[in-house]
Amino acid sequence: MATDKTNLQLVVNGILNENPIFRLVLSMCPAVGISTTVMNGFMLGIAVLFVQVCSSCTIALFKNVIHPRIRIPTYTLTIATWVTVIDMVLAAYLPEAYAKMGIFIKLIVAFAIITMRLEMFACKESVNASFWDGIGMGLGFMFGMMALGFVRELLGMGTLLGYDVLGFKPLLFFVLPFAGFFCVGLMMAFFNYIEIVYKRAKRA
Amino acid sequence: MKTIKIRRILLSLVLLLSLPVLAQAQELIAAKSFGKAKNEMVVTFAGAVDRRAVVEDPANYQVYEEQDPDIKLELAQVVLADDQKTATLTFKEPLNARLPHVVTIKSLGESGAAATFRVMKPYLGYLLSILVSALLINNFVFTKYLGLCVFFGTSKRKDTAKGMGLTFTMVIVVSAIMSWFFYQFILKPYDLNFLQIVVFIGLVSLTVQAVDTVLRKVNPALFNAFGVYLVLVIANCVIIAVPLILADNEYNFLESFMLALGAGGGFLLALYLMSSVRERMELANIPTTFKGVPIAFIVAGQFALAFLGFSGLTLF
């Protein structure tokens, strides 16, 4: 079975229609835990993008030799290998950012989104399509994380990417760790609201 | 005849065990413990000490963590209480109360005798504190924000929550123990630490598969109830976070066991609390935009706020 979507459609699908954070509600741990700044979201997004694309391609390449009964362990080990790679690269070249991410880089291995994409997409499709699907999912995750970081950083500290934008701190609440839950909930509700308004406008 | 022999063995055992206590009683120090503040240690002398100047001179003390005797901990001050028995040692930096400390007091008492003793927390209390910490203070769901995908997915019904929580606890305890063995006896001795992630996740998959197979054969009823959750276990960050944490902190076997138990129990607790609220919420009148997942997040946020109240809790 090959997908009939073009490469661009696959990418857009990951960012909008099946956004991992806001639509599929997967990999919420980092979305709540470390989305305090745009930079954090960007860094983790890059790491996830890398792991997603590499694992998708690997699985798409070897899909014919993987026995269906052991496919889940195979996926897990593939992901774990790529996570080890990105973990070591980040620890070596960006130690500061790595220290901020803490344990979350290593935990990419358990992010449901990656395994799910391998199971739903990469094990059936060509390497090319899997590559673009991986890019779409990775970017979707990255944008979701950055959107959360944007809201939390702007409202919590009045800064963006570390630069002072507002000059004051509107709602310090948002930068506190537990506010991740509230922020995700409120943003989801906001997107639902837009959707409802959009549908109503379409009908009228 | 036999009973007498056993009794004799038991008696000598008791004597042997109480030897340290007996020996200690003859010394100058009656009791010692870590203080209330993080950089304090409290020493109680057996009798009243009248040489206040000697006792209160920090230069007369030498304190180090038992595992590295070369690093002496610096004392800020020593205060002798008015009853002339209790001295409070204040250090410049916070102590790591997890480790046993060795204290040497020079020129104490009339004869200028020295006393050396160990200060450590009661081990059982320490183990329990790991358990309580993982369960409440550092609850993996509400204060470390891990395992959220499965948390939101399976907290709609109380039955599901219980099933998932119990299955998860079972798997995490088994896999954490296996991870500990692998880490201590294979990864560490052969310098294979870079393989941590691959090995730990592999072990988790293996455990899940093993539990699946065993449960299917041994207890089909239980399997029917819990089998569906087994697949979800592997998508839970907590299951891989626990081995990583116990490797980072160099926990021993019992400590690892307690951490895993606390993590699993904490997850079960969080799931159960959340599902109770969500069952009620189905009847509530919620704005359309918040229906479903968004309101669940808001509720989880409130739980997280409530769990903040546990921070700073010290039981032992």
pLDDT in tens, B136-165: 888 888 888 888 888 888 888 888 888 888
- Within this chain, do residues B91 and B161 fall inside the same structural domain, yes or no? no
Instruction: Decide if B98 is inside a domain.
Output: yes
Size of interface A-B (CB pairs under 8 A): 124
Chain-chain contact of B198 with A110 (C-beta, under 8 angstroms): no
Cβ of residue A29 closer than 8 Å to a chain B Cβ: yes
Compute the average pLDDT of residues B166-193.
89
- Within this chain, do residues B207 and B298 fall inside the same structural domain, yes or no? yes
- Within this chain, do residues B127 and B114 fall inside the same structural domain, yes or no? no
pLDDT of B223: 79
- The parent domain of residue B158 ranges over 123-308
* Complex ipTM: 0.84
Instruction: Decide if B88 is inside a domain.
Output: yes
Assign B85 to helix, strand or coil: coil
Using the predicted structure, report yes or no on whether residue B192 has a pLDDT greater than 90.
Answer: no
Compute the average pLDDT of residues B194-203.
87
Cβ of residue B246 closer than 8 Å to a chain A Cβ: no
Compute the average pLDDT of residues B34-42.
75
The last residue of one of the domains, among B91, B119, B147, is: B119
- Within this chain, do residues B137 and B267 fall inside the same structural domain, yes or no? yes
Q: From B164, B144, B143, select the one nearest B152 (Cα to Cα).
A: B164
Using the predicted structure, report yes or no on whether residue B272 has a pLDDT greater than 90.
Answer: yes
Over pLDDT 90: what percentage of chain B? 13
- Within this chain, do residues B260 and B127 fall inside the same structural domain, yes or no? yes
pLDDT of B108: 65
What CATH number corresponds to the domain at position B76? Answer: 2.60.40.1220
Instruction: Please report residues of A whose CB lies closer than 8 A to that of B278.
Output: none
Using the predicted structure, report yes or no on whether residue B310 has a pLDDT greater than 80.
Answer: yes
- Within this chain, do residues B293 and B161 fall inside the same structural domain, yes or no? yes
pLDDT of B50: 67
Q: How confident is the model at residue B22 (pLDDT cuts 50, 70, 90)?
A: very low
Distance, first Cα to last Cα, chain B? 44
Nearest residue in chain B measured CA to CA from A84: B197
Q: How confident is the model at residue B289 (pLDDT cuts 50, 70, 90)?
A: confident
- Within this chain, do residues B87 and B200 fall inside the same structural domain, yes or no? no
- Within this chain, do residues B52 and B176 fall inside the same structural domain, yes or no? no
- Within this chain, do residues B33 and B95 fall inside the same structural domain, yes or no? yes
Instruction: Decide if B300 is inside a domain.
Output: yes
- Within this chain, do residues B147 and B193 fall inside the same structural domain, yes or no? yes
Domain parsing of chain A, residue ranges: 7-203
Q: Which of A111-125, A170-184, B53-67, B181-195 has the highest mean pLDDT?
A: B181-195
Q: Are A21 and A60 in contact (CB under 8 A)?
A: no
pLDDT of B315: 67
Instruction: Decide if B18 is inside a domain.
Output: no
Instruction: Decide if B289 is inside a domain.
Output: yes
- Within this chain, do residues B31 and B101 fall inside the same structural domain, yes or no? yes
Backbone angles phi, psi at B101, to 5 degrees: -115, 150
Instruction: Please report residues of A whose CB lies closer than 8 A to that of B290.
Output: 185, 189, 192
Mean pLDDT of chain B: 80
pLDDT of B211: 82
Nearest residue in chain B measured CA to CA from A173: B305
Instruction: Decide if B2 is inside a domain.
Output: no
Using the predicted structure, report yes or no on whether residue B25 has a pLDDT greater than 50.
Answer: no
Best probe of the B interface among A22, A29, A78, A186, by most B CBs < 10 A, is A29
The H or E element containing residue B236 is none
- Within this chain, do residues B105 and B246 fall inside the same structural domain, yes or no? no
Instruction: Decide if B11 is inside a domain.
Output: no
pLDDT of B268: 93
pLDDT of B14: 61
Cβ of residue B286 closer than 8 Å to a chain A Cβ: no
Its pTM surpasses 0.90 = no
What is the total count of domains within chain B?
Answer: 2
pLDDT of B49: 72
Using the predicted structure, report yes or no on whether residue B26 has a pLDDT greater than 50.
Answer: no
**CB-closest option in A84, A107, A190 to B240:** A107
pLDDT of B196: 85
Alpha helices in chain B (DSSP H): 2-26, 52-55, 123-132, 148-153, 158-182, 196-218, 220-233, 237-248, 253-281, 293-308
- Rounded CA-CA distance B105/B109 in Å is 10
The last residue of one of the domains, among B119, B149, B166, is: B119
Residues A96-114: pLDDT tens digits? 888 877 778 888 888 878 8
Using the predicted structure, report yes or no on whether residue B269 has a pLDDT greater than 90.
Answer: yes
Distance, first Cα to last Cα, chain A? 39
Backbone angles phi, psi at B116, to 5 degrees: -125, 130
Backbone angles phi, psi at B29, to 5 degrees: -95, 125
Q: From A48, A18, A56, select the one nearest A145 (Cα to Cα).
A: A48
How far B68 CA lies from chain A's nearest CA (Å)?
27
Residue B56 or B135, more confident: B135
Q: Are A107 and A34 in contact (CB under 8 A)?
A: no
Residues B210-240: pLDDT tens digits? 888 888 888 888 778 777 777 777 777 888 8
Using the predicted structure, report yes or no on whether residue B118 has a pLDDT greater than 70.
Answer: yes
Instruction: Decide if B174 is inside a domain.
Output: yes
Ranges of residues in chain A whose predicted pLDDT is under 50: 1
Over pLDDT 70: what percentage of chain B? 87
The last residue of one of the domains, among B119, B147, B166, is: B119
